[in-house]
């Protein structure tokens, strides 16, 4: 945690960790009290059950953390799957933010053949204890990490590549990611998105190769009044590519939502 001001909660996506906000969080700390946890099963976390690694389980785990910290975030920001976790928390009434923000948010189920194959494939991989060790061994090459990150449509700096490579070399982290994927089901959250009562803002990288940028248009039709901002030529890790631009946009959206009204 760091900074002073209204609390803001930053939640990373699948396969990442708190490090993905390494450049964004310090900028937000100029006006927010910033909280950046790791999701269960990721990075250095331990002891996560399969239930903890489901969407509702992750929402409950974060809610417990907030209770321990006695924290009521005014703004919540989720990257990719992290946005779905936060949406679930809002729907569960475990948080009541003034603003929910999705950064290349993964709020809708996969469509077509990919959607049909995703869950069985993830369960098959997660059920093999050798897979995380084999992946971690193969990921010892930083070049592989760089290639995988480029596959998201983003180009990030060398420090960021190194941090992702370290995660990929951890069998425990890889196992947690696979178990999360095997237990993931966003269908219920997607069906209830219109029930979210707080303002919602989405930042969309036009070059995102992980979450189809057109999902934002589907969400706009489901949720009238949603605020969608497109960033040209940025990929799935837009907040890592342009942290200054993303921070400025977040300050603007928080101001519009009245978050700083008491300053």
Could you read off the pLDDT of 107-163 as tens digits, one per residue? 998 765 444 445 655 565 555 565 566 666 566 667 778 888 999 999 999 999 999
Q: Is residue 95 part of a domain?
A: yes
Residue 223 CA to residue 258 CA, distance in Å, equals 20
User: Residue 215 pLDDT more than 90?
Assistant: yes
Contacts 24+ apart (CB under 8 A), 120-124: 122/178, 122/181, 122/182, 122/184, 123/182
Report pLDDT for 123. 61
Q: Is residue 168 part of a domain?
A: no
Which structural domain range is residue 202 located in?
A: 7-111+185-256
Strand partners, 100: 76, 200
Q: pTM of the entire structure?
A: 0.93
Q: Is residue 62 part of a domain?
A: yes
Residue 172 CA to residue 168 CA, distance in Å, equals 9
Report pLDDT for 132. 63
Q: What pairing do the DSSP bridges indicate for beta strands 200-205 and 75-79?
A: unpaired
Q: Look at the chain and report how many structural domains it folds into.
A: 1
Q: Is residue 37 part of a domain?
A: yes
Q: Is residue 89 part of a domain?
A: yes
The mean of the pLDDT values for the chain is: 89
Q: How far is CA 219 from CA 89, 90, 106, in A?
A: 18, 17, 11
Sign of the Cα torsion 230, 232, 237, 243 reads: negative
Q: Is residue 141 part of a domain?
A: no
CATH number reported for the structural domain that contains residue 103 in this entry? 3.40.50.1820
Query: Tens digits of per-residue pLDDT, 13-66?
Result: 999 999 999 999 999 999 999 999 999 999 989 888 888 999 999 999 999 999
Q: Is residue 212 part of a domain?
A: yes
């Amino acid at each position: 945690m760091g900074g002073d001001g209204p609390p803001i909660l930053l939640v990373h996506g699948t396969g990442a960790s708190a490090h993905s906000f390494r450049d964004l969080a310090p900028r937000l700390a100029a006006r927010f009290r910033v909280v950046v946890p790791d999701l269960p099963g990721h990075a250095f976390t331990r002891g996560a059950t399969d239930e903890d690694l489901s969407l509702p389980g992750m929402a409950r785990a974060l809610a417990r953390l907030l209770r321990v910290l006695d924290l009521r975030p005014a703004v919540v920001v989720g990257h990719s799957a992290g946005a779905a976790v936060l949406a679930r928390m809002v729907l569960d009434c475990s948080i009541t933010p003034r603003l929910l923000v999705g950064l290349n948010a993964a709020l809708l189920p996969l469509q077509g053949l990919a959607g049909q194959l995703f869950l069985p494939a993830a369960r098959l991989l997660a059920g093999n204890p050798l897979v995380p060790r084999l992946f971690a061994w193969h990921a010892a090459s930083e070049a592989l990490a760089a290639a995988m990150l480029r596959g998201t449509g983003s180009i990030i700096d060398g420090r960021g590549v190194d941090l992702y490579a370290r995660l990929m070399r951890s069998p425990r982290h890889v196992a947690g990611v696979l178990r999360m994927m095997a237990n993931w089901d966003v269908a219920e959250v997607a069906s209830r998105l219109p029930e979210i009562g707080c303002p919602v803002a989405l930042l969309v990288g036009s070059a995102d190769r992980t979450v189809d940028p057109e999902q934002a248009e589907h969400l706009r039709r489901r949720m009238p009044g949603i605020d969608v901002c497109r960033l040209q030529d940025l990929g799935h890790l837009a907040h890592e590519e342009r942290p200054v631009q993303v921070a400025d946009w977040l300050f603007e959206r928080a101001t519009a939502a009245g978050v700083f009204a008491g300053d």
